[in-house]
Amino acid sequence: MAQVDPSSFSLPDNCPGLTGCPATLSLSERIAALEKRVVTDALTGLWNRMHFDSSLDPEIRRSLRHKQPLSLILFDVDHFKDVNDGFGHQVGDQVLCELARIASLTVRTSDRLFRWGGEEFAVLATASGHRGAARVAENLREAVAAHGFPGVGRLTVSIGVAEHLASESADEWFHRADVMLYAAKCGGRNAVRVDARGNSDLWAAAHGTSALHLVWQEAYECGNAVIDREHRELFDLANELIDGFLTHGSSQTLVTPIYDRLLRHVATHFADEESELEARGYVRLEAHRRIHATLLERAHELRAALDSGDANLGGVVEFLASEVVSRHLLRADRDFFPLFATAPTAPV
């Protein structure tokens, strides 16, 4: 984020165009508001291109350091020139704001949404390989296609997806996503095109069993004995499944029984966790239930893929490490940790 020298500027009593910047704010609060304004797109309220450009290299370094996949989603409005020409630029601006709203509601809370420029937008999908990012992109495409834009009607978007690969630069990575966006345009628009390469597959294939194991850390404990015990068991079962894939490939007779045990454990754990949270009066319980339902649905989809022979190690590892552990346990679950910080439950 841009650094500002407080001696180099002054702000009026009410900052034009900047909500919530009255004279009563302290200087540090005004500096923070101005810094946010610098990296925010004035029309849509999303992060702007400058912030996007400055975010890529740090996100790549973090991805490589923690071996967590990172994907880029580029999308823009199909035939947007027709909107401006037919309805005027003011209506075109309203369309972009509405699209930003739809995208914000559709992408995951862990994703970062930017207006890259004009009618083009970008999503940094953290802890997500190209498969997970493709699902996010398809959800977005469907949401836009089903939406009626006021005064305009139906519109569509074309989307390109690329997971960061090996040691490529930010520019090289962006170019691959842009090529996929161009392919979606050339293929008829209202489509998602994915570069099906990425670090998630490289990491899954390169180093053998130990490099793929999920490692439990004390920092993952919330203080509730039931939840913590079941989280640790989830790690154990996930590692057993990864070992099974490495040893037996996708053999149904040898791998699916392990997956079924994992699936039963996940369903039981989600029910137990919801019960513990309800007992503590967790205010975001319904939203947490919806997250659980989505993960279970995805787990059953992966089970069906095992039956059909379409599942591979990369997809299984991505689901376990990225969706269940990184995005859910390490992000969504941390929201309720303060509930158990002062009064942990008795050991089980």
- Torsion 241-245-246-248 (CA) sign: positive
pLDDT in tens, 289-310: 999 999 999 888 888 887 777 7
With tokens 């942990």, the residue in question is 344
Q: How confident is the model at residue 14 (pLDDT cuts 50, 70, 90)?
A: very low
Q: What is the pLDDT of residue 204?
A: 65
What CA–CA distances, in Å, run from 253 to 202, 216, 245? 26, 28, 12
Q: What is the pLDDT of residue 251?
A: 61
Query: Alpha helices of 67-129 — where are they, by DSSP H?
Result: 80-87, 89-106
Q: What is the pLDDT of residue 212?
A: 62
Residue with the bigger pLDDT between 278 and 343: it is 278
Q: Which is the CATH superfamily of the domain at 207-340?
A: Hemerythrin-like (1.20.120.50)
Q: Residue 73, SS3?
A: strand
Q: What is the pLDDT of residue 279?
A: 92
Q: What is the pLDDT of residue 98?
A: 97
Q: What is the pLDDT of residue 15?
A: 40
Q: Residue 32 pLDDT more than 90?
A: no
Looking at the chain, the domain(s) classified CATH 3.30.70.270 span 49-203
- This prediction has a pTM of 0.59
3-state secondary structure string across 219-262: HHCCCCHHHHHHHHHHHHHHHHHHHHHHHHCCCHHHHHHHHHHH
> What average pLDDT does range 327-331 have in this prediction?
76
Query: What is the rounded distance in angstroms from the CA atom of residue 168 to the CA atom of residue 302?
Result: 30
Query: What is the rounded distance in angstroms from the CA atom of residue 140 to the CA atom of residue 3?
Result: 34
Residue with the bigger pLDDT between 252 and 265: it is 265
Q: Residue 286 pLDDT more than 90?
A: yes
- Render 33-67 in DSSP notation, one character per residue: HHHHHHTB-TTT-SB-HHHHHHHHHHHHHHHHHHT
Q: What is the pLDDT of residue 208?
A: 46
Residues with Cβ within 8 Å of 245's Cβ and at least 6 positions away in sequence, in order, are 255, 313, 316
- Helices and strands (DSSP H and E) totals, the chain: 12, 7
pLDDT in tens, 226-255: 998 898 888 888 888 887 777 766 566 777
Q: How confident is the model at residue 5 (pLDDT cuts 50, 70, 90)?
A: very low
Q: What's the CATH class of domain 49-203?
A: alpha beta
pLDDT in tens, 183-217: 999 999 999 999 989 988 787 666 544 456 777 76
Q: What is the pLDDT of residue 218?
A: 64
Question: Within its chain, how far is the Cα of 36 from the centroid?
Answer: 22
Residues with Cβ within 8 Å of 237's Cβ and at least 6 positions away in sequence, in order, are 258, 261, 262, 265
Query: What is the rounded distance in angstroms from the CA atom of residue 333 to the CA atom of residue 276?
Result: 12
Q: What does residue 187 show for φ and ψ, rounded to 5 degrees?
A: -85, 5
Q: What is the pLDDT of residue 205?
A: 64
Q: Is 297 among the residues known to form the active site? A: no
Mean pLDDT of the residues in the chain: 83
Bridge-based pairing of strands 70-77 and 157-163 is antiparallel
In the set 119, 163, 230, 276, the catalytic residue is 119
- Torsion 321-327-328-333 (CA) sign: positive
Nearest-CA neighbor of 303 among 215, 211, 241?
Answer: 241
Q: Residue 67 pLDDT more than 60?
A: yes
Q: What is the pLDDT of residue 12?
A: 37
Query: What is the rounded distance in angstroms from the CA atom of residue 56 to the CA atom of residue 124?
Result: 8
Q: What is the pLDDT of residue 185?
A: 96
pLDDT in tens, 74-129: 999 999 999 999 999 999 999 999 999 999 999 987 789 999 999 999 999 987 88
Q: Residue 7 pLDDT more than 70?
A: no
Q: What is the pLDDT of residue 235?
A: 86
Nearest-CA neighbor of 54 among 130, 103, 101, 114?
Answer: 114
Q: Which residues of 72-93 are buried (b: 16+ CB within 10 A; e: fewer)?
A: bbbbbbbebeebeeeeeeebbe
> What average pLDDT does range 312-337 have in this prediction?
77
Looking at the chain, the domain(s) classified CATH 1.20.120.50 span 207-340
